[in-house]
Chain A
Amino acid sequence: MMASLSDTDAAALAQGMATAPWTQRFLDGLPAPAGELETVQWRGREALARQTLPSRRDEDWRFTDLVPLLAVFDGTAPTAGSSGGTDSPAAASALPPPAPDTVRLLLDGRNDPLAGQTLPAGLSLLGEGEWPLALGHTLAATGCQAHWPVELNQATASRCLALRVSGAVASTLELVSVAGADVSGAAEAEPGATQIGQRLTPVRVLLLLEEKASLNVLQVQLGNGPCLSSLVCEARLGRGSTLRHGLLAFGAGEACFLGHLAVEQELESRLESVWASRGWALSRFEPRVSQAEGGAHTSLKALQLAEEHQLVDTHSRVVFEGPDGQLEQLHKAIADGHGRSVFNGAVKVPRLAQRTNAAQLSRNLLLSNQARIDTKPELEIVADDVRCAHGATVTRLQQNELFYLQSRGISAAVAAGLLKRGFCQEVLRDLPAAAAGWEPLKRLLAEA
């Protein structure tokens, strides 16, 4: 499934040369910058040309090899449509009808997601005088504006969904992106689209929550076959506002996922983010939260599965820039087959962040001898009057739990499935209700 790099690319990677041949070929293959994000694209492309590709010599990427992703654009992976098959999560026919009280927008980074759609009350598009000022602000505030995956998104996305949220929005906003083979009709290749354009679906979202506003949003990122699903989502939570954010990221075959979620929280705001990820040849997700003045509540829950030869990497970072902040973080991972799961959870509590109450737990289930789990809590605590708890466990299925189920007539295989599902449920049950209709999630629950 994985293609190998050409010798020249490998040499370029090894030497950390600027504008590696891969980058040059990638940039050359892109259509000319256009659309409302034209200037952002220019800047992103310049940045990519300047940057070296992340490599395993970088501390932040030391477990994560980009090879499967680079192969997607190297012509070494099969062409779109040749893989995936019937269990593809991304088949257009698999899009379920939207759940009740849910407004669905299809995002492909190119077409207008609002064509034929009405935004629910409380949501409005940011004006042309507003979004260019706001875009990138939260990326900078959370220190990821120059990250390679972010620049890759900026270099290629020609559209951004930029929304203002006022008051309590009753409907759930569902943002769907389908990358790769058998993309739904809405995203049919435009005339003149290059092969790189077809293999890359960049999604850019900006949410500004006004004081006391609240919004439920579910992001669904699907990918199938040789493609890259790229997500950059920025959210600014005004005082006393609440964002309930769910992310379903499901890939198949050679599909890769790069995601950044950057959130700035003002006082008394609440972020509840739940994400589930499965099926990507390579996935790198970086949720980054800054409590700008402390005094806010952040809840992060995640489930990631690394199976076959997949590599799933989450690097999260929460920074308290003031006192009285709260964090609850639960990161769960299952590694099976030859899969590898990586979690790095940074929590920064500087001196001014007194009375911070933070808890981070990483729980991992290792189901095969060939699978691998790397988990690293990274707490940097300078303030002295704080409560910061963290823990990490890596276990196999518990023999006493298996035996208990078996002693009730449940076969070993079904018992193992029940235990695996139980492990997943602790996270999945907190996804927004609209997530329940999505086939890959149903399949995960049915087989586990």
Chain B
Amino acid sequence: MICPDADLLLEIVDLHARVEDQPILKGVNLTVRAGEIHAVMGRNGSGKSTLSKVLAGHPAYTVTGGSVRYRGADLLDLEPEQRSRIGLFLGFQYPVEIPGVSNLEFLRVSTNARRSELGKEELDTFAFEDVVRERLEVVKMDPAFLERSVNEGFSGGEKKRNEILQMALLEPAVAILDETDSGLDIDALRIVAAGVNQLSTPENATLLITHYQRLLDVIIPDYVHVMAAGRILRTGGKELAFELEERGYDWVDAELASESRSVAEVAG
């Protein structure tokens, strides 16, 4: 839902980042307002996942230029945990298994960190169980998964449901979902997508990172961005995703090539 007067949540300006000595992001610009759903598409290696990890504060990535403001404040200054507490959520492409740490306790500690930031009362074990059981409905998850270790031995679909369950508990203002559709069969995809739709409100925004149109059949984006070579090359409406589905990414290469030619001409 596009509303030009809605609150500015995320403002990415000329963002550059590298991993080890390899520059990956080379000038990303993106503005996200409350109520919007953005899809970021692009080939493998275009920098989509790097963008999500940089936003979440992954220590392996170094920001080398540009800025990211979240609700007007400098996001890049904050530790990863602080970013989560103030309402930024990253749904992992590959959720991490943590043996020996109970999923229920993990969810509770995490939820309380966010609640504490919002000035809400922390939930004890019993109160939290009530909250989590109600939220399980969002992703139709079996309560048995609460008793297990975090993601340990979960199937791909169960891990993704667990991610959306965390999103449902943390109620972020900006949710970045990195390839949430990967590894899901069509039924699991529908459940996860329904969960995301249910959690989407005029007050929050979602950034979907995906390869495929099929996720965008069930979560309708307001904007589609195509990433290539560490930048957003083109932005359009949902029809841009259909175009990509039909034409593939070859035109992206052509566009990049002509761009570098024109840059060369200007330089020459």
| Chain A residues with a Cβ under 8 A of chain B | 399-401, 403-412, 414-415, 418-419, 421-426
Chain B, 58-97, CB within 8 A of any chain A CB: 58-60, 79-81, 83-85, 90, 92, 95-96
B-side contacts of A408, CB under 8 Å: 81, 84, 106, 110, 113, 166, 170
Q: Are B149 and A403 in contact (CB under 8 A)?
A: no
Contact (A405, B106) CB under 8 Å given A410-B81, A411-B81, A422-B149:
yes
Q: Are B170 and A419 in contact (CB under 8 A)?
A: no
Q: For the complex, is B219 an interface residue (Cβ under 8 Å from A)? A: no
Contact (A410, B96) CB under 8 Å given A399-B60, A403-B58, A422-B149:
no
Whole-angstrom CA separation of A423 from B100 in the bound complex = 6
- Give 7 nearest A-B pairs by CB, closest first: A422-B100, A409-B113, A409-B84, A408-B110, A404-B96, A422-B101, A406-B80
Contact (A424, B110) CB under 8 Å given A406-B84, A407-B84:
no
Q: For the complex, is B109 an interface residue (Cβ under 8 Å from A)? A: yes
Contact (A422, B109) CB under 8 Å given A406-B79, A407-B80, A409-B81:
no
CB < 8 Å neighbour of A401 from B83, B96, B109, B113 = B96
A/B interface sample: 22 pairs, CB < 8 A: A399-B60, A400-B96, A403-B58, A404-B92, A404-B96, A406-B57, A406-B79, A406-B81, A408-B84, A408-B106, A408-B110, A409-B81, A409-B84, A409-B85, A410-B109, A418-B101, A418-B109, A419-B101, A422-B98, A422-B99, A422-B149, A423-B100
Q: Are B110 and A409 in contact (CB under 8 A)?
A: yes
Query: CB-nearest residue of chain B relative to A427?
Result: B100
Report the count of interface residues on B (CB-CB < 8 A): 28
CB of A362, distance to nearest CB on chain B (Å): 16
Which of B83, B85, B90, B96 lies at the interface centre, i.e. has the most chain A CB atoms within 10 A of its CB? B96
Q: For the complex, is B231 an interface residue (Cβ under 8 Å from A)? A: no
Q: For the complex, is B48 an interface residue (Cβ under 8 Å from A)? A: no
Q: Are B59 and A404 in contact (CB under 8 A)?
A: no
Whole-angstrom CA separation of A302 from B2 in the bound complex = 58
B-side contacts of A406, CB under 8 Å: 57, 79-81, 84
Q: Are A410 and B113 in contact (CB under 8 A)?
A: yes
B-side contacts of A399, CB under 8 Å: 59-60
Query: CB-nearest residue of chain B relative to A399?
Result: B59
Which of A400, A408, A419 lies at the interface centre, i.e. has the most chain B CB atoms within 10 A of its CB? A408
Chain B, 138-172, CB within 8 A of any chain A CB: 149, 166, 170
- For the residues of A in contact with B, the DSSP-based class is helix
Whole-angstrom CA separation of A418 from B113 in the bound complex = 14
B-side contacts of A415, CB under 8 Å: 81
A-side contacts of B149, CB under 8 Å: 422
Q: Are B113 and A404 in contact (CB under 8 A)?
A: no
CB of B127, distance to nearest CB on chain A (Å): 18
A-B contacts besides A405-B110, A407-B80, A408-B84, 16 pairs, CB < 8 Å: A399-B60, A400-B96, A403-B59, A405-B98, A407-B81, A407-B83, A407-B84, A408-B110, A408-B113, A409-B113, A411-B81, A412-B81, A418-B109, A421-B100, A422-B98, A426-B99
CB of A401, distance to nearest CB on chain B (Å): 5
B-side contacts of A421, CB under 8 Å: 100-101
Whole-angstrom CA separation of A426 from B56 in the bound complex = 30
Query: CB-nearest residue of chain A relative to B60?
Result: A399
Query: CB-nearest residue of chain A relative to B117?
Result: A409
Query: CB-nearest residue of chain A relative to B149?
Result: A422
Whole-angstrom CA separation of A144 from B98 in the bound complex = 40
Whole-angstrom CA separation of A56 from B106 in the bound complex = 45
Whole-angstrom CA separation of A109 from B117 in the bound complex = 55
Contact (A404, B98) CB under 8 Å given A399-B59, A410-B109:
yes
CB of A334, distance to nearest CB on chain B (Å): 13
